Amino acid sequence: MIYLIYGEDSLSVEETLASVSSHTGNDDLHDMNTTTLNGATVSLAELEAAWSTIPFLADKRIVVVRGLLARMEQGRGGGSSRPRSMDREWADIGARLTYVPDSTELIFVDAAVSRSNPLLNAIRPLSQVHEFRLPSVRDMPGWVRRRADKLGVAIEPSAVSALVDAIGNDTRLIDMELQKLALYRSDGHSGGTIRRQDVEAMVSYVREANIFATVDAALEGRTGVALRLAHQLLSEGRSSTYVITMLARQVRFLIVAKDMKSRGFQQDEIGRRLSIRGYPLTKTMQQEGRFSAERLVEIHRRLLEADLSIKTGATDEDTALDALIVGILNLCR
């Protein structure tokens, strides 16, 4: 059997892979009868040799090929997502796949690829296909509740909202946080239910969500809201230096994102450069489009000046923060 498991929802991709490849007929020999190949470098001859090998004292042999379809996707350097033409070596892979023996479970695993990807079009008709797209942000509350049920944990609606508002539709990240919160609940906290307070205390993305809101308000010229949110962060135990540092970090992200976008890089590539994904990446890209590079550079300069004035003792922290926000607001009007 040939399987094609791919898509942007990496959590579902990996869970489906685990389910498909879980049995070879002899669990003790599972590892011996499982081969994983790097699709970025594997040759067709190596792949054929792997799928042709007879399983050892088992009914099935598992061959997993990761990232082969991605070889036919452009995007690095020029930012284009237009697929390449099929490499000559792989031109007849469709015909070759008809010789995969019944004793081999051949599994192609990939992230999202374009519909016109030539390897996708060659492999898809011969495979059992599992394509996984990320849920929309609107559908995520239901997804979180179902995931919590699967983990055997109750969760308050406000806690669901806090997770989705901060992380968006990054299913893998939300699943990791739910597992952590479920373990916290199992230790006798929260009266058996995940509360919003638990999420705010334990999930870093939620704790940092107000930074995005503060940046939004400051860059959009909403004076009262920006000052209120900044002081809310202070009331939560954050120092003025922390707030300024986080504001500077986000503005640096915006500068890098704007530069990479102008050179044709796609959002995923920008996220890899900044080491962010999901909601933080989406929010950064939304903010990036609102301001010129020159204005962002000037805002960053003022952030550095505020940080320096605090460290040299020229201004106390709270005064420096308030003055900084007002200065940013004046720039953004």
- Got the DSSP string for 126-181? GSEEEEEPPPPGGGHHHHHHHHHHHHT-EE-HHHHHHHHHHHTT-HHHHHHHHHHH
- For the ranges 112-121, 199-208, 311-320, which has the lowest average pLDDT? 199-208
Quote the pTM value. Answer: 0.65
User: If you average pLDDT over residues 12-28, what whole number do you get?
Assistant: 81
Give CA angle at 58 (57, 59), nearest 5°: 140
pLDDT value of position 77: 41
Does residue 256 have a pLDDT over 50? yes
Cβ atoms of residues 82 and 115 within 8 Å: no
Q: How far apart are CA 102 and CA 120, in angstroms?
A: 22
pLDDT value of position 116: 86
- The sign of the CA dihedral 244, 245, 250, 251 is positive
Cβ atoms of residues 218 and 226 within 8 Å: yes
> pLDDT confidence of 79, banded at 50, 70, 90?
very low
Q: How far apart are CA 9 and CA 24, in angstroms?
A: 26
Give CA angle at 172 (216, 23), nearest 5°: 170
**Of 220, 209, 230, whose CA–CA distance to 323 is shortest?**
230
Cβ atoms of residues 117 and 69 within 8 Å: yes
pLDDT value of position 51: 93
Q: How confident is the model over 115-151, as pLDDT tens digits?
A: 888 899 999 999 999 999 989 888 999 999 999 999 8
Q: How confident is the model over 92-116, as pLDDT tens digits?
A: 899 999 999 999 999 999 988 888 8
pLDDT value of position 130: 96
pLDDT value of position 85: 58
Domains (range + CATH), the chain: 2-132 (3.40.50.300), 137-202 (1.10.8.60), 208-332 (1.20.272.10)
Give CA angle at 318 (317, 320), nearest 5°: 65
User: Which pair of structure tokens corresponds to residue 150?
Assistant: 């699967």
Query: What residues have CB less than 8 Å from 330, skipping those under 6 apart?
Result: none
pLDDT value of position 76: 41
The mean pLDDT of the chain is: 84
pLDDT value of position 78: 41
Could you give the count of Cα atoms lying within 13 Å of 273 in the half-sphere of its Cβ?
Answer: 19
**Of 279, 252, 56, whose CA–CA distance to 177 is shortest?**
279
For strands 61-66 and 193-194, give the pairing.
unpaired
Q: How far apart are CA 133 and CA 7, in angstroms?
A: 6
